[in-house]
Structure 1
Amino acid sequence: MKTDNDIIDTLESLEQFLLSVENGGLGLEGVAGVGMATNNSDGRHFVAVFNDKQQLLLARWISDEIFETGKELVRTGPKRH
């Protein structure tokens, strides 16, 4: 998994990450979606950016709290633009 070792541990940081993905600020090409998941090998949670073939482009670790409280933000997208 292609990950950044910084852990997203606030809703504001999650929102900023999502805005960066939307605005092309991370240099990713072919972004089709974002989702949250759990790593099967160690149980850590992450937010993932996928292309249209469901291939992982980028992932960022998230805290357990953000995994629980940030689901709606990931589902509906950030409100600020």
Structure 2
Amino acid sequence: MNNELDIIDNLQELETFLIAIESGGFGLKGVAGVALATNNSDGRPFVAVLDDNHQLILARSVTQEVFETGKDLVRNGPSKTH
């Protein structure tokens, strides 16, 4: 994962991260989607930014609480405008 100390631990941070992705704040090219997932090796949850080929291009760790409560936010997108 990118930076283990940079864990998203509340829904506000998750929403801010999603808005930054949508608005191009990270300078990523070819973003096709965002998903919540778990790491196969250690089971830790993270938010994944995927390209058109469903390849991971950016990831941020999330707490278990954010993983469980942030699914609708990831699925439907943030309600705030950018």
What TM-score, normalized to structure 2? 0.94
Number of residue pairs matched by the alignment: 80
More strand by share: 1
Match of 2:39 in 1: 39
Match of 2:30 in 1: 30
Identity among equivalent pairs (%): 60
The secondary structure found in structure 2 opposite 1:12 is: helix
Cα shift at 1:4: 3.2
Cα shift at 1:3: 1.9
Runs of 4+ with deviation above 3 angstroms: none
Structure 2 gap segments, 5+ residues each = none
Calculate the aligned-residue CA RMSD, in Å: 0.8
Match of 1:3 in 2: 2
What TM-score, normalized to structure 1? 0.95
Match of 2:58 in 1: 58
Q: Which amino acid aligns with 1:4?
A: N
